[in-house]
Structures are given as C-alpha cells and as structure tokens.
Amino acid sequence: MLKMDGIVTFVAVAEAGSISEAARRLRLSKSVVSERLSEMEKVLGATLLHRTTRKLTLTEDGTAFLERATRIAQEVREAAADLAERRGTLMGPLRIAAPVTFGRMHLGPALYPFLSDHPDIELTLDLDDRRVDPSSDGYDAIIRHGLIADSRLVAWKLASSRRLLVASPDYLKRHGRPASLSDLENHRGIFYTNRGVADWRFQGADGAVVIRGRLALGVNNGDVLHDAAIAGLGIALLPTFIVGPSVGEGRLVEIDIGHRPEPEFIFMAHPEGRNPSAKLRAIAEHLKKAFGDPPYWDRG
C-alpha cells in the first residue's frame, strides 16, 4: 500500500534534483529519504528514478507518476491547511525565495514578528539573487524587486520601489556630474547582472529610454553594487531601500539628469493556477502593512 510520506518524498526529490537537497528541504536524513523511495518503488513494482553518483533522473515511469503525485501532495497540503484555517490556525511548511540584500535589510526584520505570532508556520526562506522558477524549484512563492515579466506568475504588489542614480562625491569630482541622458552614456556604470543587460532605463515622453554606460563592474548582488558605488568605481542605479541611508549621510550623491528611472515594485509571486494557502496570503498582507504605502524607507 502506498504511503503518503513516500509520495511527498518522491515529489520533493524530483523537484530538488537530488536526494541530499530533498532531505534538507524535508528536514530528514538522506537514509530515510532513500528508504521511502525504495519502499514506494517496491510497492509500485516500478523504477521511478535512475541514480548515479553524479546525478539523479526520472525514468519514463517516474515522469508519468510525478504529475499525479505532485497533484496528490498539493491536495493533501491544501486539505491540511484548510482544516487548520477552520480552527483559526496558520500552520505547516512554506518555502519562499527572495533576493539577498532586500532579505537581509527589510524582509527578515518584517517577518520576525509575524513568525513569532504564528509559531506553527514552518518557513524556509532562501535568499538568493538568481532568478528562480517557483514551479520547478519547489517554492510556494518568490519575492522579487523589479518589473513583472513572467506571465505564468500571479503577482501581489507588496510595496512601490523608487530608484536613484547615484555616485560617490569622489567619482563626481574626478569625472564630472552628468546632467543629461547623453552625458550619462560617457560615464562608467555599475550594473546588476541578473537583469540580463548592462543598461539604465528611464521614463521618456514616448516610453522607456535605455542608456548603456561603459561597464565598470557587473555583479549579481545589491550589497556589492552599493559598496562599489561608495568606492567610486562608477555610477549606479539603485533602489532607495538600499542607498537611502548612504545618500542621507553624504557617502553617495543623487544625480539628476532630468528623467526619472522607470518605476518598479517589491512583489510576491506564485505560479498561475495554484491556489495560494491562507498562510501565504497572511504573510503577504503582513508585509504590505509592515512596508507601508509609501514604504517606510522612502518617507522623508
């Protein structure tokens, strides 16, 4: 007879791509995960996974079984959540991915009181600046900063995000202060590489205006972008939730070129067609209130 924990384990392994990662996500030992998989294959009379020392892949039977197994595991999780909601309790596991700098500076501090008020929620927060896919990577939701480009995702806006064009006083003293879009093209830029291209986007009368400066540094982390700008390597376009304090202290200077950067948002997104749990909705509502409108990092 098939056991529910075996189905959940199989789905976790398929999503994680390895037994070690699935064990970490399930908070089990690798031996327990392997035993559950072996037991389920024995009951089904089929091999679901090809295991080698280097990688793990689904067999044809495993691929066919995964679709229904995923749906069953999701239904069970939602049923358990529904019962908890009927009792007025938010409980159970939740996986969310978020960018490193925003997670460290603002998301973590906003979540701590919520988790303290709801101790039965088992939140795993993965801070990573790479663009993860919530469907294939096994996340209930992702939190991101920017524009919403993936039509397969349902996005909830948590806060507006204002960005500033900034440089250090030393850089401006050495290279001059740009006063127009054409001036900006001749300056060295510090760019966030996870956006794909090294450019700055501004609002123009007829739509977006794209400017590409000379690359001084490309990096996939907001903290390093901020530090590189303070070090005088070049000009950076950064959100106020990162650079606000440094501009206030004079370590960075806002540059006005007569055009505003395109508006962006802090948003939470989950896969289209998936019914978000009550605890995910509750976290989203809590974060909206914690960040505020306008967000607290833009006030004053």
> How would DSSP label each residue in 248-278?
HHTSSEE---S-PBPPEEEEEEEETT----H
Cα angle 130, 225, 177 (rounded to 5 degrees) comes to: 140
Per-residue confidence at 208, pLDDT binned at 50, 70, 90? confident
| Residues carrying CATH 1.10.10.10, the chain | 4-85
Average pLDDT over residues 43-62: 82
CATH top-level class of 4-85: mainly alpha
Predicted local distance difference test score (pLDDT) of residue 252: 97
Phi and psi, residue 259, nearest 5°:
-135, 140
Predicted local distance difference test score (pLDDT) of residue 151: 67
How far is it, in rounded angstroms, from Cα 145 to Cα 103?
11
274: number of Cβ within 10 Å: 16
How far is it, in rounded angstroms, from Cα 74 to Cα 293?
34
91-161+265-298 topology per CATH: D-Maltodextrin-Binding Protein; domain 2 (3.40.190)
Nearest to 280 by CA among 96, 108, 135: 96
DSSP one-letter code for 134: T
**DSSP labels for 186-237?**
TSEEEEEGGGSSS-EEEEETTEEEEE--EEEEEES-HHHHHHHHHTTS-EEE
Q: What is the pLDDT of residues 89-105, one digit of tens each?
A: 788 888 899 999 999 99
| Residues carrying CATH 3.40.190.290, the chain | 163-262
Model pTM?
Answer: 0.73
Phi and psi, residue 103, nearest 5°:
-60, -45
Q: Which has more confidence, 279 or 204?
A: 279
The CATH number for 163-262, chosen from 3.40.190.290, 1.10.287.3510, 1.10.10.10, 3.40.50.2300, is: 3.40.190.290
Predicted local distance difference test score (pLDDT) of residue 2: 77
Nearest to 188 by CA among 164, 218, 213: 213
Say if strands 121-127 and 92-98 run parallel, antiparallel, or are unpaired: parallel
Q: Which has more confidence, 199 or 68?
A: 68
Whole-number mean pLDDT of the chain? 87
Predicted local distance difference test score (pLDDT) of residue 85: 65
pLDDT at 163 over 70: yes
Exposed (0-12), middle (13-18) or buried (19+): which is 81, by Cβ within 10 Å?
Answer: buried
Predicted local distance difference test score (pLDDT) of residue 84: 66
Nearest to 266 by CA among 191, 165, 155: 155
How far is it, in rounded angstroms, from Cα 104 to Cα 221?
12
pLDDT at 137 over 80: no
Q: Which has more confidence, 209 or 300?
A: 209
Average pLDDT over residues 230-257: 96
Residue pointed to by tokens 């101790």? 119
pLDDT at 113 over 90: yes
Average pLDDT over residues 147-160: 82
Q: Which of 64-73, 110-119, 128-137, 167-176 has the lowest mean pLDDT?
A: 128-137
Predicted local distance difference test score (pLDDT) of residue 150: 61
Per-residue confidence at 267, pLDDT binned at 50, 70, 90? very high
Per-residue confidence at 149, pLDDT binned at 50, 70, 90? low
| Residue 286 near residue 202, CB atoms below 8 Å | no
pLDDT at 226 over 90: yes
- Token pair of 31 as six digits: 């031996």
Predicted local distance difference test score (pLDDT) of residue 12: 86
| Residues carrying CATH 3.40.190.10, the chain | 91-161+265-298
How far is it, in rounded angstroms, from Cα 131 to Cα 154?
16
Predicted local distance difference test score (pLDDT) of residue 86: 66
pLDDT at 286 over 90: yes
pLDDT at 211 over 80: yes
Nearest to 96 by CA among 244, 286, 229: 286
pLDDT at 71 over 90: no
How far is it, in rounded angstroms, from Cα 247 to Cα 252?
5
Predicted local distance difference test score (pLDDT) of residue 256: 93
Average pLDDT over residues 147-156: 76
